[in-house]
Chains A and B, each alone.
Chain A
Amino acid sequence: MTGVQVLLRMLLLTLAAAACVELTAVYVGSMRAVRPNPRREAMLRVRAPGPDIGRIPEFIGEGILFALVTVAGRVVFRLRLSAPPGNEGKMLSLELERRAAETGPGGGM
């Protein structure tokens, strides 16, 4: 993979992202003006700029939520999107006639 290829791919991804951003801007433009929520504004403006280690439980909580979504998705995708087994839709043959012919009348008992 050459540098030019990488740059070209990055350009393509940027263009695709720009298209998504443009659609988001259209959505934002259609929104009514949002009055600043005083609580949220205070949080944004006065929010402690540094990390707060005491908030680790919240971070772990987000991790748990992420894991739960993954597990739920795993279950759903396994149930709904897994390829069907090869014998699905085919009649199941017990081959009773062949067995009877092989063993003869009353055979096998």
Chain B
Amino acid sequence: MPQTSATARTAEPRHSTPRSHWRLKITLGLDATLAAAICALEEVRFTGLVMHEWLGIAFAGMAMAHLLLSWPWIASQSRRIFTGRRARARVNYLMNLTLFAGAAAVIWSGIRISQKAVPALRGTNAAAQIDWRWDRVHNQFSTWMLIFAGLHLAMNWDWALAAIGKLFGGGREGGL
């Protein structure tokens, strides 16, 4: 759930403007929602099929917003990935790439087996015949996605703590 690169983080002014405060608030709120959504999407019996499918579509949009907010990090790390020496940065980049690929696969396979939301968007009531191979891929990859999302949070734990501290007044602003 990182939003900015280490350089961009440190480049942020110590006394943030209201605009950057709002951006941080939105970013952190979006990240928390994404984490909760991943847990909810894993348990279809809890959400029900209809909400599961709509939440999955909303998740795709939220993930896109998350990536757009993280663009400075993506751009800088993509340029540096082959030249940088820090193992942490390389591992983080590869892990994020895997998470991205997994999320794309889970979202697309979910669209392929959708029984309610996609037919409703197409304006048809009849759901398409399920290709069970996509169903298997959806289940396999979604478990891996939960794991990689947890690792993603672990990698950016300091940022998350610093952001919470900054927004809720607990200190630890130095990490941002």
Contacts and interface: CB of A to CB of B under 8 A. Distances in A.
Given A34-B132, A62-B42, A77-B88, A48 B149 contact: no
Interface of B: 35-36, 38-40, 42-51, 64, 67-68, 71, 86-88, 91, 100-101, 104-105, 107-109, 113, 115-116, 130-137, 141, 146-147, 149-151, 153-155, 157
A65 to B, nearest CB: 7
Interface string A57-96: 0110111011111111110110001110000000000000
Contacts of A6: 68
B88 A69 contact: no
A62 B43 contact: yes
Contact of A69 (B40, B113, B131, B146): B146
Given A24-B104, A70-B151, A52 B46 contact: yes
Contacts of B134: 28
Contacts of B40: 59, 62
B130 A20 contact: no
12 contacts: A10-B64, A28-B131, A33-B132, A47-B49, A50-B48, A51-B47, A58-B43, A59-B46, A65-B146, A69-B150, A69-B151, A70-B150
